[in-house]
Structure 1
Amino acid sequence: MALAELASRLNCAEYKNWVKAGHSLLLLRAALQRFAGEQVQAFHRELVARSSARLSPSGLRCSGRCTPRGKQAYMPRGKADICGPDKCDASALLNLFNFCDHFSNIDQKKVREVIKCRNELMHSSDMKVSSSWLKEFGNHVQNLLTEFQHIPEAQMARTRIEKLLSSDWAVHVPGGDQLDGLEGEMNRSQISEIEAELIKERLHEISLLVEEQGMMSEEDLNRIQIVKDFLNGNHDLQRSLQAEMQNLEDLVQKLYGQKQSTKETQEVNDEETDEDCHLEKRKRTI
């Protein structure tokens, strides 16, 4: 059953494009995490040195053991508690490059183009993107990676992403569980893990958006229903995302309860206002 469900998903070209783009972002993140971590530590040491220099006249010294939390100011919503680049997703890492002056030597236009693509990918209503979109996305990712030619992991990622985006990923149920086009690099279990990670990130995006709004719009409900319908038809993914879906359901119920409470309070206030107006009218008549 799991293989048949995977075959059905990956034989849909637009969904397969969505997963390929998401996987490319995971490879991009993995390739740049070490570099980002080293640069953040260097930035921290620089800040410590500046602080020590300012405090030295009074005989005070920084021990150098303080935590470099300044980078958290550059994290997107929902990422402020991240402790380092090794814990960042692609969105957080790209935002670090985009907003922190320490990375100003990187072409910011290239960073923003990939951020835009990433947001379009996560906000896709049906988790599908066209082949033309995928081609443009691939160009933007490769352009960004040219900024890191001195980093071996980045150059390896360029090759892997190019190969990934041009692969077929066709699945033929009678012939076993190997995916065409990746020369044995990935099996169905690995693909399913990537799918689950991407859908988990999408659910997190929806939750953050709803929490920021403090209300549940019709569009939000449609987004949630699309994911629910998708998971109901793909039990292998549904099992691995039960906790995330339950958290989202709890949030929906909480906001719905708040909406009902607000509505009831408003109705009571309206009734009291109507009653006051009625009494005032009777007084005038008398």
Structure 2
Amino acid sequence: MSEELMTRLNDDGYKNWIKASQCLKLLQRALHPFASSRMSSFHQELLHHHGPLRRPCEAKCRARGNTLPALCRTCHEWQTVILTHHRQGDSAIVNWGNCYPPRWRRNFWEVAKAYMPRGQSDVSFACQCDTPALLNLINFCDCFHSVDLKCVSELIRFRNKLMHSLELSVSDDWMEQYWKSLKKIMQDLSPEGAAVEREIQQMLSVNLSICVLDDKPLPIVHQGPSVSDTDSPGRINGQVISYWEERLLQERLQEFLQAASDGDGDDAAKTQAVVQLKRLQVFLQDNRDLSKRFSAELQDISSVLAANQGDKDEECVLA
């Protein structure tokens, strides 16, 4: 086990960041079946109450960018119904580019994607969506009337704090408030949330101090090792923690690399992504085990930062 990982786990704030981020992965497992079940029922209700929605698309309608130009009668009807059930109504900013309108009649998840952040066009099922995408779906589609929207909004803010924390650290007080929101939404996700709530509670209470004497390899299954992969009560094998850490950092890196490289993205979001990448670059380089593990990603970061600096230099010349 690397000395660098042991050093990082001496920081309580960093351990909190790992545990809180891992809880989002557990939450995702409850959100998948819950969102899929509710959207399937919602889709059936729409078809039952709106006869025109049962007609097939007449013109192979497609989104153009984030707009839906020249829709046929059926797809226009679908667009109207989708907006009717959007909690922001006519003022909603809908990512139509997520959707392929001819599938709305047959595929309930194609409808769900209209209520989600952009970047979902290649997603076909709930199980392919991450936690923020599913929380946004619940937040914006009014078919999720049984879920406390205040709690959903809080969890979106908690998730953003975890993803955008420059220090990769959160306090004990923050964790306490986070647990309250997680516990509340698990009750709303019944029955899917009951089992996951127990796992989240175990994750939040577990001791991430490494059991130094235990260095044997652990099998990595498709969902990765879990809290149960331990040889002493309340302690986790160091390889499990290392696996969690790598996956969380990888997710963070990919999100900011994509945001910083997005030519059509929001300028403020792009600037924030560049700041985050610079911070992550320093963090990875300062930890020898991580700099080796993320050597390819560090090259990607350097390329993206250089490209963004080049864009700024060009803007200065044009000005």
Q: Same fold (TM over 0.5)?
A: yes
Instruction: Determine if contact 1:122/1:205 at 8 Å carries over to the other structure.
Output: no
Q: Give aligned pairs, total.
A: 256
TM-score, length-normalised on structure 2? 0.69
**Shift in Å, 1:234:** 3.3
> Hey, what's the Cα distance between the residues in 1 that align with 2:114 and 2:295?
32
Instruction: Determine if contact 1:23/1:194 at 8 Å carries over to the other structure.
Output: yes
The CA deviation string for residues 153-207 of structure 1, in whole angstroms up to 9 with x for no partner, is: x11111111111112111253x2348xxx56445333322221222223223434
**Shift in Å, 1:18:** 0.1
Instruction: Determine if contact 2:186/2:194 at 8 Å carries over to the other structure.
Output: yes
Instruction: Call closer, same or farther: CA 1:107–1:21 in 2, change over 3 Å.
Output: same
Instruction: Call closer, same or farther: CA 1:135–1:155 in 2, change over 3 Å.
Output: same
List gaps (5 residues or longer) in structure 2. Answer: 59-73, 75-101, 217-226, 231-235
Report the AA paired with residue 167 of structure 1. Answer: V
Q: In the alignment, is residue 142 of structure 1 matched against residue 183 of structure 2? A: yes
Instruction: Call closer, same or farther: CA 1:54–1:113 in 2, change over 3 Å.
Output: same
Structure with the largest fraction of helix: 1
> Hey, what's the Cα distance between the residues in 1 that align with 2:107 and 2:229?
45
2:114: which partner in 1? 73
> Hey, what's the Cα distance between the residues in 2 that align with 1:91 and 1:241?
25
Identity of aligned residues (%): 32
1:32: which partner in 2? 31
Instruction: Call closer, same or farther: CA 1:89–1:238 in 2, change over 3 Å.
Output: farther
Instruction: Call closer, same or farther: CA 1:258–1:229 in 2, change over 3 Å.
Output: closer
Instruction: Determine if contact 1:214/1:255 at 8 Å carries over to the other structure.
Output: no
Q: In the alignment, is residue 187 of structure 1 matched against residue 244 of structure 2? A: no
The CA deviation string for residues 108-148 of structure 1, in whole angstroms up to 9 with x for no partner, is: 11111111111111111110111111111111111111112
Q: In the alignment, is residue 168 of structure 1 matched against residue 166 of structure 2? A: no
Q: In the alignment, is residue 201 of structure 1 matched against residue 251 of structure 2? A: yes
The 5-angstrom pairing of residues 92-241 of structure 1 reads 92-151=133-192, 154-173=193-212, 175-177=213-215, 184-185=229-230, 186-207=236-257, 209-210=259-260, 211=262, 212-214=265-267, 217=271, 221-241=274-294
Q: In the alignment, is residue 6 of structure 1 matched against residue 10 of structure 2? A: no
Larger Rg: 1
Identify which of structures 1 and 2 has the higher relative contact order when contacts are C-alpha pairs closer than 8 Å and 6+ apart.
1
Instruction: Determine if contact 2:2/2:289 at 8 Å carries over to the other structure.
Output: no
Aligned residues: CA RMSD = 3.1
SS at match of 1:261: helix
Report the AA paired with residue 73 of structure 1. Answer: A
1:280: which partner in 2? none
> Hey, what's the Cα distance between the residues in 1 that align with 2:42 and 2:302?
41
Instruction: Determine if contact 1:171/1:177 at 8 Å carries over to the other structure.
Output: no
The CA deviation string for residues 209-242 of structure 1, in whole angstroms up to 9 with x for no partner, is: 544344865x655432321122123344445544
